[in-house]
A and B are shown apart, each in its own frame.
Chain A
Amino acid sequence: MMRKLLQLSVAILTFFAFTSAASACTILGYQPELPEQLKDM
């Protein structure tokens, strides 16, 4: 159960990361350093 919840949350967090990488910046006023894997998206 815990593992399934973690996997679901990983999907959501990855979605946040990719949508943020595709946009101009984060939707609130803090921009963490973009990881190398998401640069040039």
Chain B
Amino acid sequence: MIPFIARRLVQSLFVMLAVAALAFALFRFVGDPVSQMTGVETAPQDMERLRVELGLTDPIPLQFARFVGDLVTGDFGYSYRTRQPVGEMIAQRVPATLELGLVALLISLVVGIPGGIYAALHPRAPGTQALLVGTLIGVSVPTFVIGILLIFLFGVKLGWLPTFGRGGTVDIGGWRTSLLTLDGWRALILPAITLGLYQLTLTLRLVRAEMMDVMRTDHIRFAMARGLPLGTIHYRHAFRNTLVPVVTIVALQFGGVIAFSVVTESVFQWPGLGLLFLESIRFVDIPVMAVYLVLIGFVFVVLNLLVDLLYAAIDPRIRVAGAA
């Protein structure tokens, strides 16, 4: 098990280096940082001096090494736009996006998994047909349309829920959470549904397909022939056997939710990473974009590592192959 994790960690390191190289390339090739920072009235010799001071005349490998070194030591540089440290800006925004993503994930799992199991066990039931049509709509309608529809219905027509922002938040040790106030939850629920809907449909359909496959296998037929209670067969035997593919897709989807919450955040003006990224693009704020890129790469690497560990926890065959 330990060599297995060690091997994964080494692989992750290479992935992170590749992501860092991409982020670094942003600095090099998307516009000239010096002309971004300075105005028209800056003298050419001042620009030259700035270039030397910033180390932009050094050989490229040295610059890259410095870039990686800064990232590793937690020095993420300064935003061109706000002149604030990038690390601080991102740290402020992380709680909002993470909470939104987690609640969206929770919604998708709580509805998607039981829905998928139901649809697999009762393939001809009218409820299944309704679910499948519903998920088809969920997949086909773009996120922003769903968001706008929800705002229109619950925010404007019914006036039950706020249409933008995070609502009431509580600060716990630098983590601004909206999970502790009713107001926060009211603001959170619409964007979370919007964001989670796509993942929900995917989870539901995947659980259904995998579960139907498993229900056809010999060991389920053998369990039926042994007269085990149906609940045991469905949940202890069949559902556990569907978990490996489901965990993979759910985790990768969650990475996607965090990374690409841009659309939902902009529809609901949710002050998270996605909105920050959008603003940074508008102002060609390269340091923020670069760090965002590295951060998202990191999220995916961590999720993948988690998936591998979960595999081993679920499936003894993988556990042994890893240990062997």
Physical interaction between A and B = no
- What residues make up the interface of A, taking CB atoms closer than 8 Å to B? none
